Amino acid sequence: MRDVYVAGVGMTRFGKFLDKTLKDLAREAVWEAIRDAEIDPRKIAVAYAANSYAGLITGQETVRGQTLLRACGITKIPVINVENACASGSTAFNQAWLAVASGLYDVALALGVEKLYCGDLGKSLHALSTSSDVEIEGKMGIFFPGIYALRVKEHMAKYGITKEQLARVAVKNHFNGSLNPRAQYRNTVTVEEVLTSRVIVDPITLLMTAPIGDGAAAAILVGGEAVKNLRKPKVKVLATCLVSNDPLVEEEGREPTVTRAARAAFEAASVDPKDVGVVELHDVVAPVEMLLWEQTLICPPGESGKWVDEGVVELTGRVASNTSGGLCAKGHPAAATGLAQVAEIVWQLRGEAGQRQVQHKPLVGMVENGGGNVANDTAAVAIHLLGR
Amino acid sequence: MWRPLIPMSMQGGQDYKEASLLGSICRICQRIYFPFQPVCFACYSDEAVEPINLGRRGRLVKYTVATVAPAGFEPPHIQGFVELPGGVRVFSLLYGNNLKEGMEMELVPEVRGQEEDGTLLVCFRFKPLEVSR
ipTM comes to 0.93
Q: What is the pLDDT of chain A when averaged over all its residues?
A: 97
Instruction: Give the count of beta carbons closer than 10 Å to the beta carbon of residue A80.
Output: 16
* Positive or negative: CA dihedral A48, A53, A57, A59: positive
Residue A352 has pLDDT above 80, yes or no: yes
Amino acid at A323: T
Q: Kindly determine whether residue B91 and residue A137, on different chains, have CB atoms separated by under 8 Å.
A: yes
Q: Kindly determine whether residue A202 and residue B64, on different chains, have CB atoms separated by under 8 Å.
A: yes
pLDDT confidence tier of residue A214, bands split at 50, 70 and 90: very high
Distance from CA of A143 to the nearest CA of B (A): 6
Q: Which of A135, A247, A248 sits opposite B7 (nearest CB)?
A: A135
pLDDT confidence tier of residue A229, bands split at 50, 70 and 90: confident
What is the share, in percent, of chain A residues with pLDDT greater than 70?
Answer: 100
CA dist list (Å): A263 to A183, A271, A365 = 30, 10, 15
Task: Classify A357 as helix, strand or coil.
Answer: coil
Question: What CA–CA distance (Å, rounded) separates A311 from A319?
Answer: 9
Q: Note whether A155 and A178 are within 8 A (CB).
A: no
CA dist list (Å): A187 to A193, A199, A200, A358 = 12, 20, 20, 20
Q: Kindly determine whether residue B35 and residue A147, on different chains, have CB atoms separated by under 8 Å.
A: no
Question: In this predicted model, what pLDDT tens digit does every residue of A90-114 receive, in sequence order?
Answer: 999 999 999 999 999 999 999 999 9
Instruction: Give the count of beta carbons closer than 10 Å to the beta carbon of residue A41.
Output: 17
Question: What CA–CA distance (Å, rounded) separates A249 from A335?
Answer: 25
pLDDT for B130 equals 86
Question: In this predicted model, what pLDDT tens digit does every residue of A336-350 receive, in sequence order?
Answer: 999 999 999 999 999
pLDDT for B71 equals 85
Question: What CA–CA distance (Å, rounded) separates A87 from A282?
Answer: 9
Element (H, E) at A156: helix A144-159
Nearest to A282 by CA among A302, A263, A262, A268: A262
Q: What is the mean pLDDT of residues A358-385?
A: 96
Q: Note whether A34 and A41 are within 8 A (CB).
A: yes
pLDDT confidence tier of residue A185, bands split at 50, 70 and 90: very high
Task: Classify B80 as helix, strand or coil.
Answer: strand
Element (H, E) at B112: strand B104-114
Which residue in chain B is spatially nearest to A204 when comparing CA positions?
B66
CA dist list (Å): B102 to A47, B60, B62, B105 = 51, 5, 8, 9
pLDDT for B40 equals 97
Residue B22 has pLDDT above 90, yes or no: yes
pLDDT confidence tier of residue A152, bands split at 50, 70 and 90: very high
pLDDT confidence tier of residue B132, bands split at 50, 70 and 90: low
Question: What CA–CA distance (Å, rounded) separates B4 from A360?
Answer: 58
Q: Kindly determine whether residue B66 and residue A247, on different chains, have CB atoms separated by under 8 Å.
A: no
Torsion of CA A175, A179, A180, A183, to 10 degrees: 40
Q: What is the mean pLDDT of residues A148-164?
A: 96
Q: Which of A153, A248, A250 sits opposite B42 (nearest CB)?
A: A248
Q: What is the mean pLDDT of residues A246-256?
A: 94
Question: In this predicted model, what pLDDT tens digit does every residue of B90-130 receive, in sequence order?
Answer: 999 999 999 999 999 999 999 999 999 999 999 999 999 98
Annotated catalytic sites of A, by residue? 86, 332
pLDDT for A115 equals 98
Is A230 in CB contact (< 8 Å) with chain B?
A: no
Which residue in chain A is spatially nearest to B39 when comparing CA positions?
A247
Question: In this predicted model, what pLDDT tens digit does every residue of A311-322 receive, in sequence order?
Answer: 999 999 999 999
Question: In this predicted model, what pLDDT tens digit does every residue of A31-59 receive, in sequence order?
Answer: 999 999 999 999 999 999 999 999 999 99
